[in-house]
């Protein structure tokens, strides 16, 4: 065996500073989504104080209080988000840390966006951020419209002339009813506007890792 071959055989690699993204479709969600849609539209109508502004430009942002609800259908989605965060952690943690007990505290809110509404780039002060799509109007089916876009946390990656998803500087997630998305809350992200009738309704969750 020559020296060049031996060197190749000894090659080791690892992914540094990579960003995990997890997605999951909630099965048979049509009836659940129909109920949640009416729930949040009714809650929007009942509020008298007008719009709250966080990262949203226009649209309706509920109080960050969904985690306090005892509604079983709403709790189902919140627990799905917690379960996905736990599964993601179990996949990413090494053996020593995976065996240490932990749980996730959760805070959640609803978003209703209509034509022209969007969310500016922002991050969340948590471990994971999750989004669940309840209602996606036809106007979100064209290009970037209504999409959730994640930005590369490594700014200098834009200077590299390398193809492929590992070196991409942004990732667009097309909203789909019943889709649950999980990503690190520290990742800068924003939501594109869409045009046309209807409402884009979603639940957003912050999940914070806490050792027991």
Domain annotation covers residue 192: yes
Domain annotation covers residue 157: yes
Domain annotation covers residue 33: yes
Domain annotation covers residue 202: yes
Domain annotation covers residue 6: no
The secondary structure element, H or E, covering residue 97 is helix 95-98
- Residue 1 is predicted with a pLDDT of 52
Q: Are strands 118-122 and 128-135 parallel, antiparallel or unpaired?
A: unpaired
Q: Does 154 score more than 90 pLDDT?
A: no
Domain annotation covers residue 7: no
Domain annotation covers residue 15: no
Domain annotation covers residue 14: no
CATH of the domain at 116: 2.60.120.620
Is residue 77 a contact partner of residue 130, using CB atoms and an 8 Å limit?
Answer: no
pLDDT, tens digit (0-9, with 9 covering 90-100), for 1-56: 555 555 557 888 888 888 999 999 999 999 999 999 999 999 999 986 667 789 99
pLDDT, tens digit (0-9, with 9 covering 90-100), for 84-105: 999 999 899 877 777 788 899 9
Tell me the residue range of the domain where 63 lies.
Answer: 24-211
What is the pTM (predicted TM-score) of this model?
0.90
* % of the chain at pLDDT higher than 90: 69
Give the CA-trace dihedral at 110, 112, 116, 119, to 10 degrees: 0
* CA 206 to chain CA centroid, nearest Å: 9
Q: How many domains does the chain have?
A: 1
């Amino acid at each position: 065996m020559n020296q060049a071959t031996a060197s190749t055989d000894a090659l080791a690699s690892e992914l540094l500073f990579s960003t995990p993204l997890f997605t999951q479709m909630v099965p048979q969600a049509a009836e659940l989504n129909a109920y949640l849609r009416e729930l949040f539209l009714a809650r929007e109508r009942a509020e008298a104080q007008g719009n709250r502004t966080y990262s949203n430009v226009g649209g309706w942002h509920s109080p960050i209080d969904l985690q306090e609800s005892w509604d079983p259908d709403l709790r189902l989605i919140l627990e799905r988000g917690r379960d996905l965060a736990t599964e993601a952690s179990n996949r990413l943690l090494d053996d020593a840390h995976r065996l240490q007990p932990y749980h996730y505290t959760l805070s959640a809110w609803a978003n209703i966006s209509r034509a022209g509404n969007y969310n500016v780039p922002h991050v969340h002060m948590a471990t994971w951020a999750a989004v669940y799509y309840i209602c996606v109007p036809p106007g979100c089916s064209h290009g970037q419209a209504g999409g959730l876009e994640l930005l590369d946390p490594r700014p200098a990656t834009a200077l590299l002339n390398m193809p492929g998803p590992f070196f991409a500087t942004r990732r667009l997630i097309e909203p789909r009813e019943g889709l649950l998305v999980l990503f690190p809350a520290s990742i800068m992200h924003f939501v594109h506007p869409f045009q046309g009738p209807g409402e884009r309704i979603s639940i957003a969750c912050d999940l914070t890792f806490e050792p027991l």
